[in-house]
Amino acid sequence: MRNYIERLSPRVGLYLRMGSRYGKMFVGDSYWHRDQGLGRQFVPGRLSGYYNNLSSKIEWQGPVDHAGLPLVRTPGGTCVHQPIILLQKALGHWDIWLGSGRQSAQHWRSFLQIARWTLDSQDENGGWEAWPPGFKRTGSLPYSAMAQGEAVSVLVRAFSATGEEAYLEGARRALSPMLLPIKKGGTSWLTSEGLILEEVPFRVPKTILNGWIFALYGLYDFTIADDSQDAQEALETTLSALLARLQMYDAQFWSFYDTSGTLASPFYHRLHIAQLEALELSYPEYAGRFRELRDAFQGQLASRLNVARAVALKGYQKLRNPPEGL
C-alpha cells in the first residue's frame, strides 16, 4: 500500500515514512533513539566507562559485512559503513565489558574488532568520512567533529587496555581534521569565545549541541591518555566557548538541537540532560554552570505542557524541512 501511495504522491509517501520513523522514536522502539543516560561505568577523569550509556548500540539488527560489522543501506540501495554507528557500538561493548569485570570475551572481541577497523579505515588526513557516498549532506564537509571525537574515545581506550602505541598514534592523528578550521576542510572554527567543534561542518555553521559535546569528550579522553599541550589547549578553549554559548540552546520551554533554531526531539532533549550531567561531574569548577542548565531542561521535561508544545513544534519543523536521505 505504501509503495502505491508513494507512486501517486512522493510527498505523501515521505510523510508516511516520517510518521513511521518518528512514531517508533517516541515510543522508544527505534535503534537510533534509545535513551543514552549517564554512562553506567563512567568515572570522571579516568579512561573508564563512556560518558553516556551506549550499551543499546550493540543491538544492531541491520545488514552486516563479511566480518559482522554493521552496514547501512543508502537511498540508492548500496550498503556502506557509517563511522558513528560503528564507534558508538564499540563504546557500548566497552562499557558492557567493563561491567563484566573485564571478563566477557565476547564484548572484548567486539570492541577490539571495531577499534581495529577504526585504525585500518583512517584516511591519510587522520579522518573518517562521516557521510559515505549516498549519504551526502548538502553543503557539508566530509568530516564530523563528533565522529572524530568518538574515534579518539575508542582508540585511547584500546590503547589503555592493550598498550599498543598504534592506537594512541591513531587517536593523535584523528585530532588533526577535528581541529583544522572549516575553511581548510576541517570541523572547527575559532570565535572570540573559543573553539567551536561542528558535528556537521557547513560554511555557515549551525552548531549541534550533542555533537559538540561528543567531540569535546574525545579531546578530554586524549588529554587523559597523552600529555599533549596542544590537545589540552584545544580542550580548554572549546570548553570556554561551550560555557559561553550554553544559554543559546535554551528555548525557555525546551532545548534547541542547534543554533539555527531547530528544536530538539524528546530523545535529544534527554541526551542534552545526560551530557550536561557528565560535564558537571567532569568539571567540578564549572559544575554550577552545567547544573543550572541541566536543572532547567529537567524541569521542562517534567512539564506535560512543555512536552506537548515541543513535540508539536518539532513535528511542524520536520514536515516543513524533511531530513535528507530519509
Q: What is the pLDDT of residue 180?
A: 97
- Same domain flag for 128 and 26: no
- Residues 228-241 have pLDDT tens digits of 999 999 999 999 99
- Any domain includes 63: yes
- Alpha-carbon distances, residue 26 vs 53, 87, 266 (angstroms): 19, 24, 8
Q: What is the pLDDT of residue 8?
A: 54
- Same domain flag for 177 and 29: no
- Any domain includes 310: no
CA separation for the pair 326, 323 (Å, rounded): 6
- Any domain includes 73: yes
Q: What is the pLDDT of residue 1?
A: 53
- Same domain flag for 108 and 28: no
Q: What is the pLDDT of residue 74?
A: 84
- Same domain flag for 216 and 99: yes
- Same domain flag for 101 and 18: no
- Any domain includes 103: yes
Q: What is the pLDDT of residue 138?
A: 61
- Same domain flag for 50 and 193: yes
Q: What is the pLDDT of residue 26?
A: 53
- Same domain flag for 18 and 116: no
Q: What is the pLDDT of residue 5?
A: 46
Range of the domain at 5: 1-33
- Residues with pLDDT less than 70, the chain: 1-29, 133-139, 322-326
Q: Which of 157, 92, 85 is nearest to 121 (CA)?
A: 85
Q: What is the pLDDT of residue 6?
A: 47
- Any domain includes 86: yes
The residues, ordered by sequence, that sit 6+ positions from 288 with a Cβ below 8 Å of its Cβ are none
Q: What is the pLDDT of residue 28?
A: 52
- Any domain includes 111: yes
Entry field: residues in the chain: 326
Q: What is the pLDDT of residue 30?
A: 79
- Same domain flag for 171 and 99: yes
- Same domain flag for 7 and 103: no
- Same domain flag for 203 and 91: yes
Q: What is the pLDDT of residue 326?
A: 45
Number of domains in the chain: 2
Whole-prediction pTM value?
Answer: 0.90
Helix (H) or strand (E) holding 79: strand 79-80
- Any domain includes 279: no
